[in-house]
């Protein structure tokens, strides 16, 4: 979650071959049926369901909607046609950059992270250096807010110095997990649904983020970077001092909601991220480029919580990610470069899930 992913989406088409892909579902995608395209232009990502499985919140930078960088929207999964350029309901302020929206349990408000208090303009992207590592920006002006479905700000949940973002809500409707740099590192924290009782739950050096609760609310799955040498640790620290992080080496981890019983799920190498629990609570779907030869070929995979039974779910030639099962377990929403008619667009798709 966060702007780091949308920055990656913007990069991928620059290095990927631009070819027409007039397809909604590939023949190998046996777990997907009735695939429908929800958005039609720009970079659309991080679509997350409402608790009643009827709506999704998401972020977009669609230039046709007058956007300079990512803003937060929501739409019903059925009944809203965006193919004619229609714009869905804007939830964020339209100022600064936003990321990581998630419906609150009441279905009448959405929490998201925004930099708008740090300035009305879109914050600058990190400069891409020839031959240098791809880096994500970690804006210290991000805080977490709640707005109603008309975009009216209701509450600010975080106000500590540094980056606060990537917030999601427990299916038990009692807690929020998020990533923060308030301790000088990128760690996971949980708080009550009203923003009280904040507790740190990860403590090891590295980027811990993109966290989601298990269906029963007892566990948390997330992506993390870890280091085997002092040189790697020092490089991470130096990047973080400059508000940057390298996302090219990450694995999937799980822990209990209090941070105990931390364990690594994947050991695939390259970038494994955007994890989400299967409705059974025993498997995890995630995005990975570990089978790609050029670094940008991301597909969805599923793995047992104990790290066994790896299975490929999607087969796009460029990018599939941000998968989330609907709370009723019947559907999957995800982002993909499929069917973009040879453009650089990343759109949202929803499919019926087939076991």
75 pLDDT tier (thresholds 50, 70, 90):
very high
Indicate if the pLDDT at residue 15 is higher than 50: no
In whole numbers, what is the pLDDT of the chain averaged over residues?
Answer: 93
Indicate if the pLDDT at residue 79 is higher than 90: no
| Fold topology of 3-353 | Neuraminidase (2.120.10)
Indicate if the pLDDT at residue 100 is higher than 70: yes
Give the predicted TM-score (pTM) of the model: 0.94
Greater pLDDT, 78 or 18: 78
Residues of the chain above pLDDT 70, percent? 92
Q: What is the pLDDT of residue 289?
A: 96
Q: What is the pLDDT of residue 130?
A: 64
- Average pLDDT rounded to a whole number, residues 35-62: 97
Indicate if the pLDDT at residue 153 is higher than 70: yes
Q: What is the pLDDT of residue 292?
A: 87
Q: What is the pLDDT of residue 23?
A: 87
Q: What is the pLDDT of residue 104?
A: 98
Q: What is the pLDDT of residues 256-312, one digit of tens each?
A: 999 999 999 999 999 999 999 999 999 999 999 999 887 779 999 999 999 999 999
The residues spanned by each domain of the chain are 3-353
Q: What is the pLDDT of residue 13?
A: 44
Greater pLDDT, 86 or 206: 206
Q: What is the pLDDT of residue 18?
A: 45
126 pLDDT tier (thresholds 50, 70, 90):
confident
* 3 state SS of 206: coil
Q: What is the pLDDT of residues 40-52, one digit of tens each?
A: 999 999 999 999 9
Greater pLDDT, 322 or 15: 322
Q: What is the pLDDT of residue 128?
A: 74
Q: What is the pLDDT of residues 63-72, one digit of tens each?
A: 999 999 999 9
């Amino acid at each position: 979650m966060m702007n780091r992913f949308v920055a990656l989406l913007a990069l991928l088409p620059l290095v990927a071959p631009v070819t027409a892909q007039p397809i909604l579902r590939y023949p190998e995608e046996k777990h997907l049926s009735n695939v429908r395209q929800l958005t039609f232009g720009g970079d659309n990502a991080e679509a997350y369901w409402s608790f009643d499985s009827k709506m999704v919140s998401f972020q977009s930078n669609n230039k046709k909607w007058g956007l300079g960088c990512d803003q937060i929207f929501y739409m019903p999964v059925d009944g809203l046609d965006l193919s004619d350029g229609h714009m869905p309901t804007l939830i964020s302020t339209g100022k600064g950059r936003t990321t990581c929206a998630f419906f609150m349990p009441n279905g009448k408000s959405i929490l998201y992270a925004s930099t708008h208090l740090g300035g009305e303009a879109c914050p600058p992207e990190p400069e891409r250096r020839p031959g240098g590592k791809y880096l994500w920006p970690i804006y210290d002006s991000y805080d977490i807010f709640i707005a109603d479905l008309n975009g009216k700000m209701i509450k600010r949940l975080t106000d500590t110095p540094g980056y606060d973002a990537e917030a999601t809500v427990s299916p038990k409707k009692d807690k929020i997990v998020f990533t923060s740099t308030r301790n000088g590192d990128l760690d996971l924290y949980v708080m009550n649904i009203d923003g009280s009782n904040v507790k740190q739950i990860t403590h090891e050096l590295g980027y811990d983020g993109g966290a989601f609760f298990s269906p029963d609310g007892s566990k948390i799955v997330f992506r993390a970077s870890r280091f085997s040498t002092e040189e790697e640790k020092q490089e991470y620290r130096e990047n973080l001092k400059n508000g940057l992080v390298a996302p090219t080496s990450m694995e999937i981890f799980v822990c209990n909601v209090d941070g105990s019983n931390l364990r690594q799920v994947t050991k695939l190498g390259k970038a494994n991220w955007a994890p989400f629990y299967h409705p059974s609570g025993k498997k995890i779907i995630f995005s990975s480029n570990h089978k790609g030869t050029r670094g940008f070929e991301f597909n969805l995979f599923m793995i047992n919580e104990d790290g066994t039974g790896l299975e490929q779910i999607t087969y796009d030639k460029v990018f599939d990610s941000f998968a989330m099962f609907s709370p009723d377990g019947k559907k999957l929403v995800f982002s993909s470069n499929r069917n973009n008619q040879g453009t650089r667009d990343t759109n949202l798709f929803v499919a019926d899930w087939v076991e």
